Structure 1
């Protein structure tokens, strides 16, 4: 009873501190994107062109038309689903209090700059991550519906389409076909109701990067953002393509290794990281795709403190990455990033993404995949006895 009271008090204090910090500290975006969506969709509903409406400073609706008819305020539900899927297996395996683990995780999640920006902008990113991680849930269970979540997410926003590439690279042909079919079906149905908007998006708006902001702006934490900040006037597209090719080769190698070792969660996490790196525009709020990678890194270092030197190094790197992502460091350089220090600071979140691409553990089965439903002491007892009778059939 006393332990539970302490846990409740800890969560309450953390929640209050975070709420006050988010409300008081600079950085709230005034629901800017909600205003864009509301203005553009309202203009469209009154018979105007969805992609011709812009704010006073030139920002307009940039998603496919399907997004305009499907956006709902589901961020809270998405967070609950994600944390349950990502954190609950870890809590069960280590026999932690599950509500306490999920509550602490929610507080840690709220501290991240990308999550704060997603909420204060009124963005849809967390819902898309939840849709893609519905895919993970289906793939782990061998469901015939695998592919639906990714297909719907790709119909709302093109970045999640990289998970279709993941399904192809790892040989999930049926799931990949389902994802492609779902995305095409959603887009086709929407096109039947909004043919002009669909045509405008795929022939004009999709290719116009200027309508979403300057590529060199510090909020663009993608590889192209780094290249653009080297030369804002004439970004070297050849350099960008070369760097993206390297990133994709590393990604393909690592996700295949993850799947060979039965670590679907690491494969999905690496794919979320690479989506942020290769996208031409990755605003800070898009970096919620890094959250599953942070969970995978944390799970790979348990029990705490890690005894293995590699796990200790990974733990230090994971904590450092989390702190950087909470800090809002890149905004210090919003008005200029000259010199080596400015270049390092203005691209801080990109370096975190690159580090996660390289350091996410994919060489052995994750403790939160096949073994996630069994407490650690049962696994330890089975290993010590050399017997598999107490283990579920899929682990024998």
Structure 2
């Protein structure tokens, strides 16, 4: 009996050790991520200080989009976001920064956990918990998430809203609402509307646009002059966000600008290339949706927003490590290898960049991120069914000559 039991216990012991190691890795990244953000004196520095300063400026009688451009930047989001972010001014800036940082770390854990939990591989409980720890740790340790944490950005919050909505974690009657809310805070989630329309998800589109419109109307009633200023002027002023040619802008516009393309030619190429990539991402997202993998659809749409927007800084690129998690947990070996490569690159992005700068190849590394986003939009995320059972309308069925019912091809 003992000779038969011992060999079976070895893999279980090894898996348990890996589970503990993965858990410690996740905790380590959680703590180090929080400490890194706290070391930046969030609230007094970073993008969150712009939110706080602009809203305080508004409360004192100033115009939201006239807020003094500290560090060269001003308030760039729609007026509704100033209403939503108003609680940031209730406490001292440093206290607010720590509270916001803690919230963002918790949301980052939730986002990674939702993506990992939606995968169908591995199957054993211990292995899945191990993968969960590794996924959370790699996501928190990625340069993209760390960039979000040290600036106090809102991108993790928006990613959570989009994943909950498109990933079907909300009731069907509420689908589209969270995407509309996210778009009212920051415009980039509006890319999902195009996918809704092309795939004829009319109810979700109506709910999303309706939620967005309600938020815009509310902001117009509360902040009429600022709303008029934003929708007629500030929304078109990309210089408020930064220079498009800067090295870490991983959008199509950024690549064209760094290549020396400018003026009308750059705008036309951006629309053509960016539009083509977005359409391909829509097609791949629909393939995932039809396979029942709605979370992968959400990640693809997030990647499409990155390549299509004029400016995509590292904190906008949190969708890249999420795409790596999706690919790494596919069954075929090739997506797994590609996913692991993406995750390792995201985790080691800073040392890789420092090494490449020292060896004169920084220009090459600067464009690897956008190349990965382009590849994801072109090739998709290897669609496959997820573990979550989502209620979809039953496909039409046919009956065989023997009278047995057979489902039609999906």
- TM-score normalised over the length of structure 2: 0.77
Find out whether 1:288 has 2:309 as its counterpart: no
Equivalent residue number for residue 58 of structure 1 = 72
Residues 78, 127 of structure 1: 8 Å contact kept:
yes
Residues 113, 135 of structure 2: 8 Å contact kept:
no
CA distance in structure 2 between the aligned counterparts of 1:343 and 1:180, rounded to whole angstroms: 40
Give secondary structure in 1 for the equivalent of 2:84: coil
Residues 1:215 and 1:331: Cα distance change in structure 2 (over 3 Å): farther
CA distance in structure 2 between the aligned counterparts of 1:268 and 1:21, rounded to whole angstroms: 25
Equivalent residue number for residue 319 of structure 1 = 340
CA distance in structure 2 between the aligned counterparts of 1:15 and 1:180, rounded to whole angstroms: 39
Equivalent residue number for residue 368 of structure 1 = 387
Equivalent residue number for residue 12 of structure 1 = 24
2:253 to 217, 220, 224: 224
Residues 1:233 and 1:146: Cα distance change in structure 2 (over 3 Å): closer
Residues 1:316 and 1:290: Cα distance change in structure 2 (over 3 Å): same
Residues 1:172 and 1:24: Cα distance change in structure 2 (over 3 Å): closer
Residues 121, 329 of structure 2: 8 Å contact kept:
no
Equivalent residue number for residue 213 of structure 2 = 184
| Structure 1 position 144, deviation (Å) | 0.7
Equivalent residue number for residue 43 of structure 1 = 57
Residues 207-262 of structure 1 deviation map (CA, whole Å, 9 limit, x = unaligned): 11111111101121100000011117657222212211321332233233333333
CA distance in structure 2 between the aligned counterparts of 1:214 and 1:345, rounded to whole angstroms: 19
CA RMSD of aligned residues (A): 3.5
Q: Show the 5 A alignment for 1:160-309.
A: 160-231=189-260, 234=263, 236-301=266-331
CA distance in structure 2 between the aligned counterparts of 1:168 and 1:53, rounded to whole angstroms: 37
2:377 to 314, 335, 357: 357
Residues 314, 359 of structure 1: 8 Å contact kept:
no
Q: Show the 5 A alignment for 1:25-104.
A: 31-71=45-85, 73=100, 74-90=103-119, 94-97=123-126, 100-104=130-134
Give secondary structure in 1 for the equivalent of 2:387: coil
Larger Rg: 2
Equivalent residue number for residue 94 of structure 2 = none
Residues 33, 123 of structure 1: 8 Å contact kept:
yes
Residues 1:198 and 1:370: Cα distance change in structure 2 (over 3 Å): same
Equivalent residue number for residue 140 of structure 2 = 110
Give secondary structure in 2 for the equivalent of 1:267: helix
Residues 293, 360 of structure 1: 8 Å contact kept:
no
| Structure 1 position 200, deviation (Å) | 1.0
Give secondary structure in 1 for the equivalent of 2:72: coil
| Structure 1 position 92, deviation (Å) | 8.6
> Any unmatched runs of 5+ in structure 1?
302-310, 373-396
> Any unmatched runs of 5+ in structure 2?
1-11, 89-99, 392-410
| Structure 1 position 33, deviation (Å) | 0.3
| Structure 1 position 80, deviation (Å) | 4.0
Residues 136, 265 of structure 1: 8 Å contact kept:
yes
| Structure 1 position 173, deviation (Å) | 0.2
Q: Show the 5 A alignment for 1:132-151.
A: 132-138=162-168, 143-151=172-180
Select between 272-281 and 314-323 the one with higher mean Cα deviation.
314-323
CA distance in structure 2 between the aligned counterparts of 1:264 and 1:192, rounded to whole angstroms: 36
| Structure 1 position 10, deviation (Å) | 4.7
CA distance in structure 2 between the aligned counterparts of 1:17 and 1:189, rounded to whole angstroms: 39
Residues 1:141 and 1:331: Cα distance change in structure 2 (over 3 Å): same
Residues 326-366 of structure 1 deviation map (CA, whole Å, 9 limit, x = unaligned): 23359948x999x9x4442221210111122234334x532
CA distance in structure 1 between the aligned counterparts of 2:64 and 2:72, rounded to whole angstroms: 14
| Structure 1 position 143, deviation (Å) | 1.3
